[in-house]
Amino acid sequence: MASHPLETAAQALGQKLEGLDLPGRLALVASLEGKAVFTTSLGIEDQVITAAIATGRNDIEVSTLETGRLFNETVALIDKTEETYGILIRRFRPEQDDIDAYAAKYGLNGFYDSVEARHACCGVRKLKPLARALEGASFWITGLRRGQSGNRAETPFAEADLERGLIKINPLADWTIEEINAHVAAEAIPVNPLHTRGYPSIGCEPCTRAIKPGEPERAGRWWWENDEKRECGLHVAEAASAQSPLPASSIAR
């Protein structure tokens, strides 16, 4: 039962989004009062969303977290996507001081040594830049899908992010990987060449490996950790109270 105003608004918005196709979902979010930001990892789902935003000329900011540890193929795809669609993808990078402090404490590749060190690295290279990317945003669009992992099986179309004081929109929540692949082929959407080399989910280069046939899509992410629910912290729901929740009236219209 929703209780926080942001949760009530997200629930109402989610019901509207459910009955729409992808262009309709994005157009609806773009039409709402408040800034909408889409953060892309350049993964195949995110390429579908970027293409739809560009094609629909939606007023949605497209941003990416350039962690400094991405695959060369991913970095090249940022430029290629901009050229293909004539859009600007805003790059948010970690602060050098933060990287230096991390390296001094854990070592540059200290993330292999402990979960704590790994979360600290993701904090510096992803979470802090994400906070800057989402500054002033009322809506955060992501490419999360229910089929990506057991941890994401309940992904809703819209959910309150009380920690960040915004509504998170997952317009591909109900898409299957087969639908994603078919759409990419039909629309000739540029995708990361690593996908055809066994990488369905692509993150930072040192923390992503190819998966074996039959393994879950995200099995190649932080593969050395045992926790089946491992995530980088970007999409982990955290119980917290929002300091500046959106008025429900600004969303549910």
Binding flag, residue 230, ligand SF4 (CB under 6 A): no
Is 122 a known active-site residue? no
DSSP structural state of residue 165: T
* Interaction between residue 133 and ligand SF4 (CB under 6 A): no
**Interface size with ligand SF4, residues (CB under 6 A):** 13
Which pair of structure tokens corresponds to residue 153? 């099986």
Check binding of 126 to ligand SF4 (CB under 6 A). yes
Pick the piece of the chain touching ligand SF4 (CB under 6 A) from 85-93, 115-123, 164-172, 236-244. 115-123
Q: Does position 42 bind ligand SF4 by CB under 6 A? A: no
Among 22-30, 44-52, 201-209, 234-242, which window interacts with ligand SF4 (CB under 6 A)?
Answer: 201-209
Which position's Cβ is nearest ligand SF4? 204
Contact 29, 169 (CB under 8 A): yes
Classify residue 249 by burial, with Cβ atoms within 10 Å: 0-12, 13-18, 19+. exposed
Residue 130 is a binding residue for ligand SF4 (CB under 6 A): no
Q: Is 144 in the site for ligand SF4 (CB under 6 A)?
A: no
User: Using CB under 6 A, which of 121, 158, 173, 246 touches ligand SF4?
Assistant: 121
Q: CB 63 → ligand SF4: shortest distance, Å?
A: 16
Span from 118-126, 140-148, 160-168, 187-195 in contact with ligand SF4 (CB under 6 A): 118-126
Taking each helix axis as running N to C, give the angle between helix 22-31 and helix 5-18, from 0 to 180 degrees, rounded to the nearest 10. Answer: 140
| Residue 71 found at the interface with ligand SF4 (CB under 6 A) | no
- Number of H-type helices and E-type strands within the chain: 8, 6
Cβ count within 10 A of residue 158: 25
Structure tokens at 33: 């009062």
Structure tokens at 119: 């979360």
Instruction: Kindly report the number of other CB atoms within 10 A of residue 76's CB atom.
Output: 14
According to DSSP, residue 161 is labeled E
| Dihedral Cα 205, 221, 148, 43, nearest 10 deg | -10
The answer to whether residue 65 forms part of the interface with ligand SF4 (CB under 6 A) is no
Residue choice 156, 203, 220, 245 for contact with ligand SF4 (CB under 6 A): 203
For residues 155 and 144, the answer to whether their CB atoms sit within 8 Å is: yes
Residues marked as catalytic: 232
Binding site for ligand SF4 (CB under 6 A): 67, 69, 111, 118, 121-122, 125-126, 203-204, 206-207, 232
